[in-house]
Amino acid sequence: MVRILSQTKSAAVNPLKSSQPLGAAFAFLGVDGTMPLFHGSQGCTSFALVLFVRHFKETIPLQTTAMDEVATILGGADHLEEAILNLKSRTNPKLIGVCTTALVETRGEDFASDIANIRAKRSEELAGTEVVLANTPDFDGAIEEGWAKAVTAMIEGITRPGEQARERKKIAILPGWNLTVADMEHLREMVESFGLDPVILPDVSGALDGTVPDRWIPTTYGGTRIDDIRDLGTAVQCIAIGEHMRRPAEALQKLTGVPYVLFRSLTGLKAIDRFVSLLSAISGVPAPAKVRRRRAQLQDALLDGHFHFAGKKIAIAAEPDQLYQLATFFSGMGAEIAAAVTTTGISKILEKVPAETVQVGDLGDLEGLAAGTDLLVTHSHGRQAAERLGIPLMRVGFPIFDRLGSQHKPTILYEGTRDLIFEVANIFQASQNMPTPEALDPFRNREMPDDRHTPPVTRH
Amino acid sequence: MSSLNAKIQDVFDEPGCDKNRSKEAKVRKKGCSKPLTPGAAAGGCAFDGAKIVLQPITDVAHLIHAPLACEGNSWDNRGAASSGPSLWRTSFTTDLTELDVVMGQGERKLFKAIREIKDAYAPPAIFVYSTCVTALIGDDIEAVCKRAAEKFGLPVVPVNAPGFVGSKNLGNKLAGEALLDHVIGTVEPDDIGPYDINILGEFNLSGEFWLVKPLLDRLGIRVRACIPGDARYLDIASAHRAKATMMVCSTALINLARKMEERWDIPFFEGSLYGITDSSEALRQIAELLVKKGASPELLGRTEALIAEEEAIAWQKLQAYRPRLEGKRVLLNTGGVKSWSVVHALMEVGIEIVGTSVKKSTVEDKERIKQILKDENHMFESMAPRELYAMLCEHKADIMLSGGRTQFIALKAKMPWLDINQERHRPYAGYDGMVELVRQIDLAIHNPIWSQVREPAPWERAANETMRAEAGAAAEIATVHGFKKFAGATVDDFGEC
């Protein structure tokens, strides 16, 4: 059973987390015609915006209520109202996703009733625009929690409540934040290949996939349509991906009675097989030839790739669901999870992580635990640790600011798992040392474990 | 908080700033930052500004007392370079949790964090930054820093610039104040010389100060402290013994330059290290100030000789680009000194300037640009992104030089773009830097992708011909509409320098 070690340091060294409101904004970015709005000081927005831009290399719609000292003391409802009205008149979004920050949450106002009041008072001006609230203080949670809260808020705020006539072919899919643009595209293709009609919420594949529109669009373009969110209750089945999507899936079930199935991960042959079987059962269609072919390719990749994984020690730092996704992938290939670091100790998924311990902490902890491992797996900020330790870094998650195309890398389903195997095997092959007589000399390092503390040669 | 308010008033009342002097006393108190419009604001906060100024100090541990976002979303994001220590790139934050905030454990956690950093990294100093939440819950970082400094026997410097007190620019200045109050003058150097200078406001982005430093070395001029680029704590602590100061990024640290002149009689001048003539002018002024302060007058002659030599080489290198760049039109969208300092050199190789922003430029700056461009119409106070996009779409320029924030206006208009602000990856300072800038412009304009991305798909070409008339009108409305969101964003498009 895995032991979860809580954080005992006072100084976080090289944070692993990105903030909770950033996670919520990320989810809102997957909805068509949306403008996420941070309720906080302008710096909160600016930092998140810059980080998004560095990761996606795209313009990111994200605005701020620009709370200053005085507004913070007197209360921020006026700023919130002004911001919402300004956004409406300037960009006419279909959805304004309000994400609170530590600043306003520390002061602590009733934002839900503020927004209800604003919507009631300004119903005429705000016609055609939904306003949804996610309570996401920075002093709690990280991307995972923020993303899940935003999705829950959209379901609770927009989806029509009550049991409704079900559409036999319609599936609601609630993906976790760790799915890339390519993952969402593949997910849609896979579901459609069974003749099913998926509604993916949120769907970042429209807005953040790096297209060049022929005009300037101030909000998100592409992503889940508001009408589809409203009609989620007509789906015959909901599929949630990642433990953190349980809450939104439960919210949908409670609201509309749509039952959900939760997949902890869609990386790895067995999990995908289960997913494909489910689609087959819902649709009554056997797995199409294309899907079978992809599965065969993955089988081959497992055969070709496992040589490179076996016995390798892997150090991973990621948010809980992504940690689970990657740790099960690596251990499923014969590697050992020698170090696992995550952002919070409360996620249920951590108990399933195939490692001896999971440390709640930061990249400083990862660096301490990763000495002697063969591969670091975390986001771009792991580059300093990788350099100091001389261990290669595989970039995953958010932010990835020093490599292009991270959004177009598939990480789930048959082809995503196949590509992950290739990526890791290639990193190992690229950093392979040629054998030398010295390294293989049987008389070298003959010292017994007891001798360790008295090295024969003094170091200068 | 009252002492912070007094500090902010003091910073706003800056006699060294021409723009500030021209205002009435009442207006002056409000400072230079305009009030922000909720829902239409852009740019960083005071904390951001303070961190930008101080974080490049390479051997210091920078500890951010805040919930996660302030540091977690922003660390290791700037391209300043270090010739030695790398501690500044390690991120430290107290990462306050809900429990810390509710139980009021902030100060205790901060104190412990300082101890942990001291034990594990033994830095020459620790800088502690306050933020909105820790200011709101009333954590007294100055008291904690004082106590920690006594207890641990190392300088622990409070940087009191929580985000909600104002803009990035205000944060820049508050950072300068922190250096004045707690760092500069705390160490007496034992190697004072007549050729010691300070450089203020040079960030050593992409290591570009290293393109200039050898020139100073050649003249026997020693950089006592370059603040903050590639700085060490001790350099800054003993910066008060320099003989002269060059201030590079005028708006950011003018208060620091002026107060160092008042306190320690170090004369300063504002100069630029961008562009050939300006680099020469900077060297000249440094030499003049040093001679005025007692250095041997033969320095002036040596300086002129070096300038002549370096200019000749640079102009010769630039001539090679003339055939490729003659007649190309550049839209310059940056602020302050950079506007005029690069204009001259670009024109020298035959590049035409179709526009330059003068948003942050002083009256003198504008005069200089006017003389160089011979046409006022090329100057604009601030250009709305909508107009920028339109200009670029209509191919009224061949390339835009700007900061990262306006990057996508150019790229989505399928227009070459070159980063000349903080995030850039290439050094442009000094003589070699100017040649590099021109080379990069050449590479950007002549990249073969432009003809590929601008061409519509073959199957769209025929359809486009017929659709164009109606679509054009609709698209224009959408464009105008789309840019409204940037209406409040222009102020920050120009970076902090």
CATH number at residue B340: 3.40.50.12380
Q: In B397-494, which ranges are continuous DSSP H helix?
A: 407-412, 430-445, 449-454, 458-483
pTM here is: 0.89
Residues of chain A contacting B136 with CB distance shorter than 8 Å? 72, 103, 106-107
Residues of chain B contacting A398 with CB distance shorter than 8 Å? none
Q: Tell if the CB–CB gap between B70 and A43 is shorter than 8 Å.
A: yes
Residue that terminates a domain, selected from B148, B182, B216 = B182
> What pLDDT, on a 0 to 100 scale, did the predictor assign at position A438?
83
User: Among A13, A221, A366, which would you mutate to test the B interface (most chain B Cβ atoms within 10 Å of its Cβ)?
Assistant: A13
Residues of chain A contacting B73 with CB distance shorter than 8 Å? 18-19, 22, 47-48, 50-51
Backbone angles phi, psi at B205, to 5 degrees: -65, 135
Q: Do both A53 and A69 map to the same domain? A: yes
> What pLDDT, on a 0 to 100 scale, did the predictor assign at position B21?
58
> What pLDDT, on a 0 to 100 scale, did the predictor assign at position B423?
65
Q: Do both A381 and A326 map to the same domain? A: yes
Residues of chain B contacting A86 with CB distance shorter than 8 Å? 37-40
The span from the CA of B271 to the CA of B249, in Å, is 8
- Which residues make Cβ contacts (< 8 Å) with residue A350, sequence separation at least 6? A2, A4, A320, A323, A324, A342, A358
A-chain residue closest to B474, CA distance = A215
Cβ pairs bridging A and B (under 8 Å):
224
**Structural domain contains residue B489:** yes
User: Among B131, B164, B170, which would you mutate to test the A interface (most chain A Cβ atoms within 10 Å of its Cβ)?
Assistant: B164
Closest CA to B42 of A314, A47, A161: A47
Coil, helix or strand at residue A453: helix
- CA neighbours within 13 Å on the CB side: how many for A13? 20
A210: contact with B, CB 8 A cutoff: no
Distances in Å between the alpha carbon of A370 and those of A80, A340, A365, B72?
Answer: 45, 9, 8, 21
Q: Tell if the CB–CB gap between A42 and B44 is shorter than 8 Å.
A: yes
Cβ atoms < 10 Å from Cβ of B3: 9
User: Which segment of A92-101, B164-173, B362-371 scores lowest on mean pLDDT?
Assistant: B362-371
Q: Do both B173 and B70 map to the same domain? A: yes
User: Which segment of A449-453, B248-252, B436-440 scores lowest on mean pLDDT?
Assistant: A449-453
User: Which segment of A220-224, A251-255, A420-424, B344-348 scores lowest on mean pLDDT?
Assistant: B344-348
Q: Tell if the CB–CB gap between A90 and B89 is shorter than 8 Å.
A: no
Q: Which residue reads 């390339």 in tokens?
A: B399
Q: Tell if the CB–CB gap between A106 and B101 is shorter than 8 Å.
A: yes
User: Which segment of A232-246, B11-25, B89-103, B342-356 scores lowest on mean pLDDT?
Assistant: B11-25
When pLDDT is cut at 50, 70 and 90, the band that residue B196 belongs to is: very high
User: Among A6, A17, A47, which would you mutate to test the B interface (most chain B Cβ atoms within 10 Å of its Cβ)?
Assistant: A47
> What pLDDT, on a 0 to 100 scale, did the predictor assign at position A83?
95
Q: In A18-101, which ranges are continuous DSSP H helix?
A: 20-28, 42-56, 69-74, 77-91
Domain of B261, in residue numbers: 196-317
**Structural domain contains residue B310:** yes
When pLDDT is cut at 50, 70 and 90, the band that residue B467 belongs to is: low
Q: In A343-407, which ranges are continuous DSSP H helix?
A: 363-369, 383-389
B-chain residue closest to A142, CA distance = B68
Q: Do both B415 and B361 map to the same domain? A: yes
The span from the CA of A224 to the CA of A173, in Å, is 11
Q: Considering only residues 388 to 427 of chain A, which have any Cβ-Cβ distance to chain B shorter than 8 Å?
A: 401
Q: Tell if the CB–CB gap between A50 and B72 is shorter than 8 Å.
A: no
A277: contact with B, CB 8 A cutoff: no
Q: Do both A245 and A361 map to the same domain? A: no
Residue that terminates a domain, selected from B317, B346, B368 = B317
A-chain residue closest to B475, CA distance = A215
* A400: DSSP letter: -
**Structural domain contains residue B439:** no
When pLDDT is cut at 50, 70 and 90, the band that residue A460 belongs to is: very low
A267: contact with B, CB 8 A cutoff: no
Q: Tell if the CB–CB gap between A12 and B93 is shorter than 8 Å.
A: yes
Domain of A239, in residue numbers: 167-287
Q: Do both B462 and B334 map to the same domain? A: yes
* A6: DSSP letter: P
**Structural domain contains residue B300:** yes
* A2: DSSP letter: P
Tell me what the mean pLDDT of segment A423-448 comes to. 84
**Structural domain contains residue A443:** no
Distance (Å) from the alpha carbon of B392 to chain A's nearest alpha carbon:
12
Backbone angles phi, psi at B365, to 5 degrees: -55, -50
Residues of chain A contacting B386 with CB distance shorter than 8 Å? 216
Cβ atoms < 10 Å from Cβ of A261: 14
> Among the ranges B2-16, B23-37, B462-476, which has the highest mean pLDDT value?
B2-16
Q: How many residues appear in chain A?
A: 460
> What pLDDT, on a 0 to 100 scale, did the predictor assign at position B340?
63
**Structural domain contains residue B10:** no
Tell me what the mean pLDDT of segment B411-420 comes to. 86
Q: How many domains does chain B have?
A: 3
Q: Do both B346 and B291 map to the same domain? A: no
User: Among B30, B51, B87, B133, which would you mutate to test the A interface (most chain A Cβ atoms within 10 Å of its Cβ)?
Assistant: B133
**Structural domain contains residue B225:** yes
Contact by Cβ (8 Å): B41, B488: yes
Coil, helix or strand at residue A446: coil
Q: Do both A364 and A283 map to the same domain? A: no
Q: Considering only residues 147 to 186 of chain A, which have any Cβ-Cβ distance to chain B shorter than 8 Å?
A: none
Residues of chain B contacting A72 with CB distance shorter than 8 Å? 132, 136, 164
* B220: DSSP letter: T
Full DSSP string of B385-423: HHHHHHHHHTT--SEEEE-GGGHHHHHHTT--EEE-STT
Residues of chain B contacting A11 with CB distance shorter than 8 Å? 63, 92-94, 112-114, 116-117
- Which residues make Cβ contacts (< 8 Å) with residue B330, sequence separation at least 6? B346, B351, B352, B353, B354, B397, B398, B399, B400, B401, B441
- Residue B417 CA to chain centroid, in angstroms? 19
> What pLDDT, on a 0 to 100 scale, did the predictor assign at position B365?
66
Q: Tell if the CB–CB gap between A50 and B74 is shorter than 8 Å.
A: yes
Cβ atoms < 10 Å from Cβ of B426: 17
Task: Note the pLDDT tens digit of each residue in A258-274.
Answer: 999 999 999 999 999 99
Q: Tell if the CB–CB gap between A139 and B133 is shorter than 8 Å.
A: yes
Minimum-distance CB partner of A11 among B44, B63, B409: B63
Q: Do both B343 and B311 map to the same domain? A: no
Tell me what the mean pLDDT of segment B373-384 comes to. 66
Q: Do both A191 and A300 map to the same domain? A: no
A50: contact with B, CB 8 A cutoff: yes
Contact by Cβ (8 Å): B80, B56: yes
Angle between helices B337-348 and B298-319 (to 10 degrees): 60
Tokens of B211: 């393109």
Residue B337 pLDDT exceeds 70: no
Residue A33 pLDDT exceeds 50: yes
Residues of chain B contacting A21 with CB distance shorter than 8 Å? 69
Contact by Cβ (8 Å): B489, A224: no
Q: Do both A379 and A274 map to the same domain? A: no
- CA neighbours within 13 Å on the CB side: how many for B181? 17
Residue that terminates a domain, selected from B128, B154, B182 = B182
Distance (Å) from the alpha carbon of B111 to chain A's nearest alpha carbon:
9
Q: Do both A355 and A308 map to the same domain? A: yes
> What pLDDT, on a 0 to 100 scale, did the predictor assign at position A435?
81
**Structural domain contains residue B16:** no
Q: Do both B370 and B486 map to the same domain? A: yes
Q: Do both B301 and B401 map to the same domain? A: no
What share of chain A has pLDDT > 90, as a percent? 84
Q: Tell if the CB–CB gap between A139 and B97 is shorter than 8 Å.
A: yes
Q: Tell if the CB–CB gap between B77 and A66 is shorter than 8 Å.
A: no
The span from the CA of A148 to the CA of A144, in Å, is 6
**Structural domain contains residue B444:** no
Q: Do both A279 and A200 map to the same domain? A: yes
Residue type at B306?
L
Q: Do both A110 and A195 map to the same domain? A: no
Q: Residue A29 belongs to a domain with what CATH number? A: 3.40.50.1980
Residue B327 pLDDT exceeds 80: yes
Q: Do both B50 and B134 map to the same domain? A: yes
Closest CA to B262 of B184, B336, B186: B184
Q: Do both A270 and A329 map to the same domain? A: no
Q: How many domains does chain A have?
A: 3
Q: Do both A41 and A105 map to the same domain? A: yes
The span from the CA of B114 to the CA of B63, in Å, is 8
Residue B70 pLDDT exceeds 80: yes
Closest CA to B161 of B9, B49, B43, B2: B49
Please state whether beta strands B61-64 and A393-395 pair in parallel, antiparallel, or not at all (unpaired). Answer: unpaired
Q: What ipTM did this prediction achieve?
A: 0.89
Q: Do both B57 and B108 map to the same domain? A: yes
User: Among A215, A343, A363, which would you mutate to test the B interface (most chain B Cβ atoms within 10 Å of its Cβ)?
Assistant: A215
> What pLDDT, on a 0 to 100 scale, did the predictor assign at position B496?
33
Cβ atoms < 10 Å from Cβ of A277: 11
Residue A150 pLDDT exceeds 90: yes
Greater model confidence, B6 or B311: B311
Q: Tell if the CB–CB gap between A13 and B133 is shorter than 8 Å.
A: no
When pLDDT is cut at 50, 70 and 90, the band that residue B26 belongs to is: low
Q: Do both A206 and A312 map to the same domain? A: no
Task: Note the pLDDT tens digit of each residue in A293-322.
Answer: 999 999 999 999 999 999 999 999 999 999
**Structural domain contains residue A454:** no
Residues of chain B contacting A220 with CB distance shorter than 8 Å? none
Q: Do both B240 and B203 map to the same domain? A: yes
Q: Residue B156 belongs to a domain with what CATH number? A: 3.40.50.1980
Contact by Cβ (8 Å): A118, B113: no
Q: Do both B356 and B417 map to the same domain? A: yes
> What pLDDT, on a 0 to 100 scale, did the predictor assign at position B490?
35
Contact by Cβ (8 Å): A37, A152: no
Q: Do both B163 and B264 map to the same domain? A: no
The span from the CA of B427 to the CA of B280, in Å, is 17
**Structural domain contains residue A439:** no
Minimum-distance CB partner of A102 among B39, B133, B478: B133
A381: contact with B, CB 8 A cutoff: yes
